[in-house]
Chain A
């Protein structure tokens, strides 16, 4: 048995310690690993440092720092906790580990650069207070939302509730692609628009509604139909998540193919009469052993779920078949929920799972969606690598061969 003091002294003999002057003066900058607690980290830290609280060190560090030969300088507030953390890293096989003597306190005292975290001003603290109270969101999560960029395909039944909740949540930039004008038959469910908006473009009407709700939100309108010609230009504006509320199969397949090639997750929703479907297609590639994004795709794509569009007689529109007004409210809100989870990185996204909702039971059912290794777009040997004629693809039904 040894006391804390004895244990610390013994470890000090065994662990490399480096002064702040020496660490900061190294030409080849090491990876600074901050092992302090969250409340200490948010008060300021060494620029570029990686934050892993000591309590999570063993479980998280190997995923974040796969290279065991990378030089690492571990620091805490005063240079004691980092000695223990450095020992743990050595036990995990990290070969070039040092503890920062005097810690962050010494670093600041010597005038080395400090990155102060951004924080919310009082007005935003009040607006987002119910988010700030949730431990999984908090100030850090709210700042992520304010930095997030979500593209909505369609400002109709699904896009209305989705964009309203995303704007209210403080998602900093919302893109809206829709070429339509507000029609009287929209108002039974498209709650972004009002009787006064009749005849106005949906993009204009949506922009006015969303900015009145939350001036923190920048709305980028694209008053055009999403096509093979404009999709790359629109996606090049930089989006973290796409919320697909399109009302037709050609756009669904176009959104899918573009999202796979641009590696942007899509929150998919669709509705008909009393029933709706929600899922998340996440085509991003996981980091492989080298830390670059060339590993397996995270999830299946729309073509894995529905490889072939139905023939037109089996694909009636809401215009033809109708839809209960509140149904897009439910499904679009679920889409907003998934988009917020993706941005915040919390919970289990609906990847690989299709959620079915029946308003009459009412009830939810879940079925599995698996990535198809033979998928022509996201599979192991893709056969489609550029945009096709989606209208033609969807109008010939199932009787023509796949491209």
Chain B
């Protein structure tokens, strides 16, 4: 069993949970298990068959892009973090003029 941390911007798609447990020996299996239970997350986390480019996935503190991507192995008991960029507060048009 692996703990997956859900970032605030994706929590709505995971029934408001901050972290959920998922099964899988690789990042691919883990994310498929996760998105099978929270289908709304699928469109956020995946783009086609790959992890969406604006979502970082960390396994034990390492970005899987710098490992084996979706094939990165996940040890039982590991912590996995999903992390999209946070601006500190852009408007939906991305044109906010203010700061923080």
Contact = CB atoms under 8 A, between A and B. Distances in A.
A316 to B, nearest CB: 6
Contacts of B88: 157-158, 245-248, 269-272, 318
B15 interface: no
Given A245-B88, A269-B88, A305-B56, A314 B98 contact: no
B77 to A, nearest CB: 16
Chain B interface size, as a band, is: 35 or more
A259 interface: no
The 7 closest A-B pairs by CB, nearest first: A154-B99, A157-B100, A318-B89, A156-B99, A156-B100, A317-B89, A248-B90
A250 interface: yes
Interface of B: 7-10, 18, 44, 47, 52-56, 58, 61-63, 66, 81, 83-100
Given A246-B87, A315-B85, A395 B97 contact: no
Q: Which of B62, B63, B83, B87 has the most CB of A within 10 A?
A: B87
A368 B93 contact: no
Contact of A179 (B62, B89, B97): B97
Contact of A314 (B9, B63, B91, B93): B9
B9 A395 contact: no
Nearest to B66: A370
Contacts of B91: 248, 317, 319-320
A312 B94 CA distance: 7
A391 B95 contact: yes
Contacts of B56: 305-306
A318 B84 contact: no
A273 interface: yes
A311 interface: yes
B90 A314 contact: no
A275 B8 contact: yes
A257 interface: no
B94 A391 contact: yes
A177 to B, nearest CB: 9
Interface of A: 153-159, 178-180, 189-190, 202, 225, 245-250, 252, 269-275, 277, 305-321, 323, 328, 356, 360, 365-370, 391, 394-395, 397-398
Contacts of A180: 97-99
A271 B99 contact: no
Contacts of A319: 89, 91, 96, 98
A248 B62 contact: no
B86 A394 contact: no
A2 B26 CA distance: 68
A246 B53 contact: no
A249 B81 contact: no
Contacts of A370: 63, 66
A398 B56 CA distance: 13
Given A391-B94, A398-B54, A245 B86 contact: no
Given A248-B89, A248-B90, A249-B87, A398 B53 contact: yes
A320 B86 CA distance: 13
Given A246-B99, A308-B54, A395-B93, 6 more contacts: A159-B100, A247-B98, A248-B90, A309-B54, A311-B54, A367-B58
Contact of B86 (A189, A272, A313): A272
A393 to B, nearest CB: 9
A316 B92 contact: yes
Contacts of A158: 88, 99-100
A399 to B, nearest CB: 8
A202 to B, nearest CB: 8
Given A311-B54, A367-B58, A394-B90, A306 B100 contact: no
